[in-house]
A and B are shown apart, each in its own frame.
Chain A
């Protein structure tokens, strides 16, 4: 029953979030601020993780291919498919759920317990729309950019491994592999997932932050709940979207 309570309350909150903005210019300013706060500040962690993961996938694949009948370009192909289909859209979004989700929930939760949200309401402002809509819009705009960058850096990480003197595969094989059997339709699948995950991370985290009550302890709980439930929903929707797009 508690699940239905949360689902109902989540959709009621979303109906307020997507009401017509009271002042477009103020909302626009907030969206730019959020793009900077959640997007630009996440660039370093996304870049570091992507380069390392690309390199690791390349080494793992190379060390597991010992059959001479399997061509070496399979390494590049595997890195590209792994990074493009799952690592960048899903794993990086899970990491962003931890970083951005906890930040959103604690920010809005702290505003709730210090009566800042009440202050917005009393001024006649739709607090849900003013606080949450810019975060969702910013995430939907900036996440695809972050993930595209993650894909590029992840594949580059594999290339760096091919450049090492002790590499088990050549840069030629690797570059051939990352171009082999490329289906552009899979990018459509990847970026659809990213947009869904961007919405999940920001809306679920905002939901937990907005409905915080009590004190500092509850802000911490909201932050934890935001990360846990965003992560579960990301994996659930990843499974659903993978099934819908790839199993035909």
Chain B
């Protein structure tokens, strides 16, 4: 479980995260949603320590991440997997080498055991047989799946996903969503997803925080969100005519 308590972050004069608190639960897909530029990716980066927090607490199973020194933070990070928006695969390495990388760095597994684990992860994200391809040879959806395979290679306790559906067609988006949901439940991972994709929200939103102007504006789950009376959330959810037609037009 991860808890964030009263976190604040400013870039210069501009405060982008304002007193945000929320709890992210294991075996659930925890979503941070909001408009572009509302501060949701910043919250994600604060949680993993890529940005320094101005004030507040970030607790990983009760351990305050921010009060640890750099080495202790590195130890916590070994339990984190992250799917980046652009994949962030290492260009100079093949798909297999990318997925094996965390195993090479942090485990003493034999070569055969590593190969088995790599093949298992690639199979899990439906990329079996693509071991020798380089990132430049992969499509956008394949890159995301490869990034997911690398993220789960070392059996993480926490999985962070930054816009996993951005730039993907609806069909591939659903594949990625289902993969994340299955992996979350199968390995009992605490998964945090930053997204503004409403399909994802409706499909996999177990525990949702809506961020508006850097604040935690609303919390709930995928059922609550469709019946919200919160004006800003309503405007966000039903901004597209598709959502209006499907959920409001049908009287849901």
Assembled-state Cα–Cα distance A37/B77 (Å): 31
**Cross-chain contact B102 with A123 (CB below 8 angstroms):** yes
**Cross-chain contact B86 with A118 (CB below 8 angstroms):** no
**Cross-chain contact A119 with B105 (CB below 8 angstroms):** no
**Cross-chain contact B74 with A126 (CB below 8 angstroms):** yes
Nearest CB of chain B from residue A15's CB, rounded to whole Å: 11
**Cross-chain contact B105 with A114 (CB below 8 angstroms):** no
**Cross-chain contact A124 with B75 (CB below 8 angstroms):** yes
Assembled-state Cα–Cα distance A118/B181 (Å): 24
Q: Can you list 19 A-B pairs with a CB-CB distance of less than 8 A? A: A23-B104, A26-B105, A111-B90, A114-B91, A115-B86, A115-B88, A116-B89, A118-B88, A119-B82, A119-B84, A121-B49, A122-B82, A122-B160, A123-B77, A123-B78, A123-B101, A124-B80, A124-B106, A125-B105
Nearest CB of chain A from residue B103's CB, rounded to whole Å: 11
**Cross-chain contact B77 with A121 (CB below 8 angstroms):** yes
**Cross-chain contact B78 with A124 (CB below 8 angstroms):** yes
**Cross-chain contact A118 with B84 (CB below 8 angstroms):** yes
- Chain B residues whose C-beta falls within 8 Å of the C-beta of A23 in the assembled complex: 104-106
Tally B residues with Cβ within 8 Å of A.
24
Flag A96-129 by CB within 8 Å of B: 1 or 0 each. 0000000000000011001110110111111000
Tell me, yes or no, whether A60 is within 8 Å of chain B by CB: no
Residue on B nearest A119 in the bound complex, by CB: B88
Residue on B nearest A26 in the bound complex, by CB: B104
Nearest CB of chain A from residue B51's CB, rounded to whole Å: 10
Q: Which of A23, A116, A126 has the most CB of B within 10 A?
A: A116
Identify B50's interface contact among A22, A116, A118, A124, CB under 8 A. Answer: A118
Q: Which 8 A-B pairs have the closest CB atoms?
A: A124-B77, A124-B78, A115-B88, A119-B88, A124-B74, A122-B82, A115-B84, A116-B88
Apart from A118-B84, A123-B102, what are 17 other A-B pairs with CB-CB below 8 Å?
Answer: A22-B105, A23-B105, A23-B106, A26-B105, A114-B91, A115-B84, A115-B85, A116-B89, A116-B91, A118-B50, A119-B82, A119-B88, A121-B50, A122-B80, A123-B101, A124-B74, A125-B105
**Cross-chain contact B105 with A122 (CB below 8 angstroms):** no
Interface range, A side: 10 to 19
Nearest CB of chain B from residue A195's CB, rounded to whole Å: 27
Assembled-state Cα–Cα distance A122/B104 (Å): 15
Tell me, yes or no, whether B175 is within 8 Å of chain A by CB: no
- Chain A residues whose C-beta falls within 8 Å of the C-beta of B78 in the assembled complex: 123-124
Assembled-state Cα–Cα distance A26/B90 (Å): 15
- Chain A residues whose C-beta falls within 8 Å of the C-beta of B179 in the assembled complex: none
Assembled-state Cα–Cα distance A125/B154 (Å): 13
Nearest CB of chain A from residue B164's CB, rounded to whole Å: 14
Tell me, yes or no, whether B16 is within 8 Å of chain A by CB: no
Nearest CB of chain A from residue B157's CB, rounded to whole Å: 12
Residue on B nearest A118 in the bound complex, by CB: B50
Tell me, yes or no, whether B38 is within 8 Å of chain A by CB: no
Nearest CB of chain A from residue B83's CB, rounded to whole Å: 10
- Chain B residues whose C-beta falls within 8 Å of the C-beta of A26 in the assembled complex: 104-105
**Cross-chain contact A114 with B88 (CB below 8 angstroms):** yes
Residue on B nearest A122 in the bound complex, by CB: B82
Tell me whether A123 and B86 are in contact in the complex, defined as CB-CB below 8 angstroms, given that A116-B91, A118-B50 are known contacts.
no
Flag A57-71 by CB within 8 Å of B: 1 or 0 each. 000000000000000
Tell me, yes or no, whether B59 is within 8 Å of chain A by CB: no
Tell me, yes or no, whether B48 is within 8 Å of chain A by CB: yes
Assembled-state Cα–Cα distance A160/B77 (Å): 60
Assembled-state Cα–Cα distance A26/B160 (Å): 26
Nearest CB of chain A from residue B148's CB, rounded to whole Å: 13
- Chain A residues whose C-beta falls within 8 Å of the C-beta of B86 in the assembled complex: 114-115
Nearest CB of chain B from residue A158's CB, rounded to whole Å: 40
Residue on A nearest B48 in the bound complex, by CB: A122
Nearest CB of chain B from residue A34's CB, rounded to whole Å: 11
Assembled-state Cα–Cα distance A22/B154 (Å): 16
Assembled-state Cα–Cα distance A90/B82 (Å): 45
Assembled-state Cα–Cα distance A46/B88 (Å): 35
